[in-house]
């Protein structure tokens, strides 16, 4: 009778899970060593046989399309094709019911809070010890939303809440809108964007209008500032 119904507080979009129902997981990380180390740890500690890996967000997306959704995902924050919160938002869109764990070297408070607001099941440090790692993952897979000990959500409650709300808004962007926003945040003009995506400039404009209405911006420069304020596309 493994602990069921342990979800205490703030479920994301997590279905009822228990850790032992997680049989197949997907690790998305561009660093091969980290990938292997994680996979090995999981196999040993959880007795998992099906540990899939992907080196980039694009590869992960394709693998999910071809092989179906895993039971859980571990996602690096700093992928070559999706730095920052972007990858999380995109993946959540594709598999809304699968718990996604963010993993990263840096433990900045702001980054954690946006990741959690964007629907991550938890956030763990790459430098975590094996036991702590396993324990965190198990708790996540039982439905708990797990953040690092160092994380204090309330260092500035109001500002933090605003950022969380903003992250939620960004999470409603469609894939195409996300692509366009990324290009906007690189300073590109509508015409350039239309060329890169092979669509009409008019279409780009439509998307931009939708984006700005979703994130509550009027000028494109504001959109850039908002995206940067939650580190949607992290340049660092």
Dihedral through CA 116, CA 27, CA 126, CA 109, nearest 10? Answer: -10
Among 82, 89, 208, 215, binds DNA (CB under 7 A): 208
- When binding is defined by CB under 7 A, the residue of 34, 94, 199, 234 that contacts DNA is 199
Q: Least separation, in Å, of the C-beta of 15 and DNA?
A: 15
Total binding residues toward DNA, as defined by CB under 7 A: 23
200 binding DNA? (CB under 7 A):
yes
- Taking the complex as a whole, the smallest distance from the CB of residue 133 to its own copies amounts, in Å, to 30
Question: Residue 189 or 200: which CB sits closer to its own copies?
Answer: 189
Site string for DNA, 214-233 (x = CB under 7 A): ----xxx-------------
In the list its own copies, DNA, none, the entry touching 136 (Cβ below 5 to 8 angstroms by class) is: none
Q: How many CB atoms lie within 10 A of CB 66?
A: 7
CB of 185 to its own copies, least distance (A): 8
Q: Which does 205 bind (CB under 5 to 8 A by kind): DNA, its own copies, none?
A: DNA
Min. distance of Cβ 221 from its own copies in angstroms?
5
* Binding residues for DNA restricted to 174-193, rule: CB under 7 A: 174-177, 189-191
Among DNA, its own copies, none, the one that 41 touches (CB under a kind-dependent 5 to 8 A) is none
Interface residue list for DNA (CB under 7 A): 174-177, 189-191, 197, 199-200, 202-203, 205-210, 212-213, 218-220
């Amino acid at each position: 009778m493994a602990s069921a119904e342990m979800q205490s507080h703030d479920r994301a979009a997590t279905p009822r899970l228990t850790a032992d129902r997680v049989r197949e997981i997907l690790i998305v990380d561009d660093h091969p060593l980290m990938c292997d180390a994680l996979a090995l740890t999981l196999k040993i500690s959880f007795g998992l046989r099906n540990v899939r890996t992907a080196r980039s967000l694009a590869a992960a997306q394709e693998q999910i399309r071809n092989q179906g959704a895993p039971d859980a995902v571990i996602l690096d924050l700093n992928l070559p094709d999706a730095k920052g919160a972007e990858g999380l938002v995109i993946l959540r869109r594709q598999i809304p019911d699968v718990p996604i764990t963010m993993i990263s070297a840096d433990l900045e408070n702001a980054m954690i809070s946006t990741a959690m607001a964007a629907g991550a099941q938890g956030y763990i440090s790459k430098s975590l010890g094996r036991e702590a790692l396993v324990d965190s993952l198990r708790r996540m897979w039982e439905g708990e939303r797990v953040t690092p000990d160092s994380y204090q959500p309330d260092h500035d409650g109001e500002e933090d809440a605003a950022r969380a709300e903003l992250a939620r808004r960004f999470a409603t962007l469609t894939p195409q809108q996300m692509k366009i926003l990324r290009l906007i945040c690189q300073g590109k003009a509508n015409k350039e964007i239309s060329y890169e995506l092979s669509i009409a400039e008019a279409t780009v404009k439509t998307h931009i209008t939708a984006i700005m209405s979703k994130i509550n911006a009027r000028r494109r420069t504001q959109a850039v500032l908002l995206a940067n304020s939650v580190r949607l596309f992290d340049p660092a």
